Structure 1
Amino acid sequence: MIKYFLLLFLPILLSANLTYVFNHNKEVALLESFDIEASFLYDPIMNQMKTKKSTIKKNKYFFKAMDEAYTFIPAIKSILAKHGIPPEFLYLAMAESNFSTRAYSKKRASGLWQFMPATGKIYGLKIDEYVDERRDLIKSTEAAAKYLSQLHKRFGKWYLAAIAYNCGGGRLNNAIRKAGSDELSILLDPKKKYIPRESRFYIRKIVALAMIGQDEQFLMHSEYEHLLNRANAYSISTVRLSSGDSIRRLSKMIGIPLIELKKLNRHLKYDFVPPYAKGYDVYIPYIKLNEFKRKYTPEPMKNIYKVHVVKSGDNLSKIGKRYGVSYRVIKDFNKLKNYRLSLRQRLIIPIDSRIKSKKIDTRHYYMVKKGDTLESISKAYKVSVQNLKLQNHLRGSLIRIGDRLKINE
């Protein structure tokens, strides 16, 4: 009987043991990619994070975020690999923004990798009237990869690069000097507080997320099994539109819903690309690339947008208010060297050409003036601040003179 029992259950016990060894080895290899010693597997706070996030509800939330980023995760991995950065740093982006290109913090950090404006500009990200490339999933990842590479070159270990990304190289350098060591176990000392509490939890969070992300057993028995089959090649393509071209026109041309096109191009502040002389790159699904090549031809802006003929008494500010468009945008689209206009001058107004030439109802749009705040506008129009933020896709309370705000839907 005992012999029969052993024959029946021995394969199961062996399988369970092999699975444990396999998972253990994978976790050790993951730590090695961060230059972290295997003993960190027993860090109680990291394991608590892992266990907490591994509950059914939290796990589904985790993989839902992975699923929504399905289209561009291969692109992120390819860029990290190009710069010699371990693929596990993908989870640094998840820790920063939960893979949301629209993420915006109280400290004004924005995008997938949560760049501050000054740091973003140092690494070549453009932030102006038309774009915020901190939200550009490709350019921001290139910038983050360059930044992480420099931090690794400076500190010599990948876990130090990750910590420095969070608290700053100068602060980490001071912490190492005070501790007399760059060992992770020493830097994480909660009593000595060599690095900020946020950073002590930050590196643990990245490791915990990476371990959950490689949990193939969960994936195989869930609705997210398809994530296992995700290709490593790019699933998005970069295409160039001519100066000021409409992405609404592009969406119709290649047959992709405008909302999906916007998800890939969160860095665009308007429904058109900037009126830069050389045009501007946008992203489309890879499967639409051939269709784009067949169908796309630059179109004169007068055929896409509204044309306004200047009348007596007109000025850029007045015209802008009429159409709900910033006067600066009108100036740029028409390549005006100054603000002077002449009678019967024809101006391109970047709104749909089918919109009638009547004044836009101010109940629906408002042009921000000097001294305006979201609070003052909400009181004037009896609309909540939260409503204004939702309608205008605002993460914070920052608005600028000339901005066009939607008042109600």
Structure 2
Amino acid sequence: MIKYFFSLLIPIFLSANLTYDTDYNKELEILNSFDIDPAFLYDPIMNNMKQKTLAKDKHFFRAMEDAYLFIPAIKSALSKYSVPQEFLYLAMAESNFRTKAYSNKRAAGLWQFMPGTAKLYKLKIDEYTDERRDPIKSTEAAAKYLSSLHQRFGKWYLAAIAYNCGGGRLSRAIKEAGTDDINILLDEKKKYIPKESRYYIRKIVALSLIGSDEHYLLKSEYEYLLNRANAYSLATIKLSSGESLQRVSKLLGIKLAELKKLNRHLKYDFVPPYSRGYEIYIPYIKLSEFKQKYQSEPIKNIYKVHVVSRGDNLSYIGKKYGVSYRVIKDFNHLKTSRLQLRQKLIIPIPKRSASQKINTKHYYIVKKGDSLESISKAHKISIQNIRSQNNLSSSLIRIGDRLKLYE
């Protein structure tokens, strides 16, 4: 009888061992992808981070769920530049996968690029776009940057640390420590690198271990995420100059809010009036429908046309419609601000509404007599915050400028 009982238990023990081996091998693969020694699995601070994240797993999985459309595209962009897939979790550590994430240090987007680094990697920041918030372009820029850091330091965990504290800071730390060994660099007493960076690499590894734990996912209510991230993706489409997002959303049966969420890099509800048009993102499952239905329209058929009357100027017209004078100038390809009587100007607000303005909930159009100080007091937001959100290098503002206040 006892012999029979043990014969029943053997498959259970074998199954448990197989599961353990599978999990352990997967964990070793993850560490190997970062060029980290297997002993790091027992790092107490990293394991504490992992346990705290698991204790609040809804927060982790909500971020994964919100980014389900982005994740396949991010992985594809990382692969393109031979960056390990686990660096997906660097974006999670940076921004929690929120494309609209913005720091008080002026970093923005999924990968939290500073303006200078963004421009170095050809991410456009202007009146119409902030491509640090473009999920694909910013990922490609991050992959290039990480590849260059890996080429410089030779190990992926060093590339991740340098991404956080800077290459110069890491080089000095390695020189001081006399080694690039992760266990020495992360020494809590010697403090070769800043505390933020010591915790940063541990956080990325912890998130990677959780995100790749299929057994954990299978036992949780989030099992569907295993397949969902592979089933959905983005498609890139090109729109004509100044095209309205609202028109595209109606054409494809996508809520405007969803379309804007996929295109947080656009500062307005229309694509920039660049002469060559502009690319945006839609769910891949809508691509065929777009190809069948979309035809570009002259922008005068989409937006309101204002006929210049006596006394009009760009500043006055801009205030009337809640649009920056620079936008009106760009949409109408004006080389000067001089207007002629009965001249027709395209104003990028819906054609059917004579009085509707662009949503100014989070924006402010500068008026005569305004200063950053007066705007700061009126809206209860610091001058530094206004300057940071609008990439202002000084306190100089002009009538008609459109300032972002609350995003």
TM-score, normalised by the number of residues in structure 1: 0.91
Q: CA deviation at 1:12?
A: 2.0
**1:26, 1:365 → 2: CA distance?**
48
Would the alpha carbon gap of residues 362 and 119 (structure 1) be closer, same or farther in structure 2, given more than 3 Å must change? closer
**Contact kept? 2:389, 2:404, Cα under 8 Å:** no
Q: CA deviation at 1:65?
A: 0.6
**Aligned pairs (5 A) from 1:318-357:** 318-357=316-355
SS of match in other structure, 2:210: helix
Of 17-26 and 329-338, more deviation after overlay is shown by 17-26
Q: Percent identity?
A: 69
**1:168, 1:111 → 2: CA distance?**
18
Q: Counterpart in 2 of 1:160?
A: 158
**1:254, 1:44 → 2: CA distance?**
50
Q: Counterpart in 2 of 1:5?
A: 5
Q: CA deviation at 1:217?
A: 2.0
Would the alpha carbon gap of residues 199 and 379 (structure 1) be closer, same or farther in structure 2, given more than 3 Å must change? closer
**Aligned pairs (5 A) from 1:15-26:** 15-26=15-26
Would the alpha carbon gap of residues 149 and 293 (structure 1) be closer, same or farther in structure 2, given more than 3 Å must change? same
Give a deviation string over 1:240-287, Cα, whole Å, max 9, x none.
111111011110111111011001100000000001010000001111
**2:388, 2:223 → 1: CA distance?**
33
**Aligned pairs (5 A) from 1:54-203:** 54-55=54-55, 58-203=56-201
Q: CA deviation at 1:332?
A: 0.5
Would the alpha carbon gap of residues 289 and 121 (structure 1) be closer, same or farther in structure 2, given more than 3 Å must change? same
**1:265, 1:398 → 2: CA distance?**
20
**Contact kept? 1:324, 1:365, Cα under 8 Å:** no
**1:357, 1:106 → 2: CA distance?**
36
Q: Which one-letter code corresponds to 2:286 in the other structure?
A: K
**Contact kept? 1:378, 1:385, Cα under 8 Å:** yes
Is residue 301 of structure 2 the alignment partner of residue 311 of structure 1?
Answer: no
**Contact kept? 1:243, 1:280, Cα under 8 Å:** yes
SS of match in other structure, 1:289: helix
Of 394-403 and 197-206, more deviation after overlay is shown by 394-403
Q: CA deviation at 1:19?
A: 1.3
**1:69, 1:22 → 2: CA distance?**
27
**Contact kept? 2:81, 2:143, Cα under 8 Å:** yes
**Contact kept? 2:349, 2:357, Cα under 8 Å:** no
Q: Which one-letter code corresponds to 2:309 in the other structure?
A: K
Q: CA deviation at 1:359?
A: 9.2
Would the alpha carbon gap of residues 359 and 31 (structure 1) be closer, same or farther in structure 2, given more than 3 Å must change? closer
**Aligned pairs (5 A) from 1:361-376:** 366-369=364-367, 371-373=370-372, 376=374
Superposition RMSD on alpha carbons, in Å? Answer: 2.7
**2:35, 2:357 → 1: CA distance?**
62
**2:85, 2:359 → 1: CA distance?**
51
**1:9, 1:2 → 2: CA distance?**
11
**Contact kept? 1:308, 1:348, Cα under 8 Å:** yes
Q: Counterpart in 2 of 1:53?
A: 53
Would the alpha carbon gap of residues 332 and 39 (structure 1) be closer, same or farther in structure 2, given more than 3 Å must change? same
- Give structure 1 stretches of 5+ with no counterpart: none
Q: Counterpart in 1 of 2:288?
A: 290
Q: Counterpart in 1 of 2:276?
A: 278
**1:274, 1:361 → 2: CA distance?**
17
**1:234, 1:174 → 2: CA distance?**
43
**1:358, 1:51 → 2: CA distance?**
51
SS of match in other structure, 1:54: helix
- Give structure 2 stretches of 5+ with no counterpart: none
**Contact kept? 2:185, 2:193, Cα under 8 Å:** yes
SS of match in other structure, 2:305: strand
Partner of residue 244 from structure 2, selected from 235, 243, 246: 246
SS of match in other structure, 1:223: coil
**Contact kept? 1:322, 1:360, Cα under 8 Å:** no
**1:112, 1:360 → 2: CA distance?**
26
Would the alpha carbon gap of residues 365 and 105 (structure 1) be closer, same or farther in structure 2, given more than 3 Å must change? closer
**1:97, 1:371 → 2: CA distance?**
34
**Contact kept? 1:320, 1:326, Cα under 8 Å:** yes
Q: Counterpart in 2 of 1:226?
A: 224
**Contact kept? 2:381, 2:405, Cα under 8 Å:** no
Would the alpha carbon gap of residues 304 and 159 (structure 1) be closer, same or farther in structure 2, given more than 3 Å must change? same
**Contact kept? 1:77, 1:232, Cα under 8 Å:** no
TM-score, normalised by the number of residues in structure 2: 0.91
**1:34, 1:289 → 2: CA distance?**
36
Q: CA deviation at 1:365?
A: 8.0
Partner of residue 266 from structure 2, selected from 268, 284, 300: 268
Q: CA deviation at 1:114?
A: 0.3
Q: CA deviation at 1:225?
A: 1.2
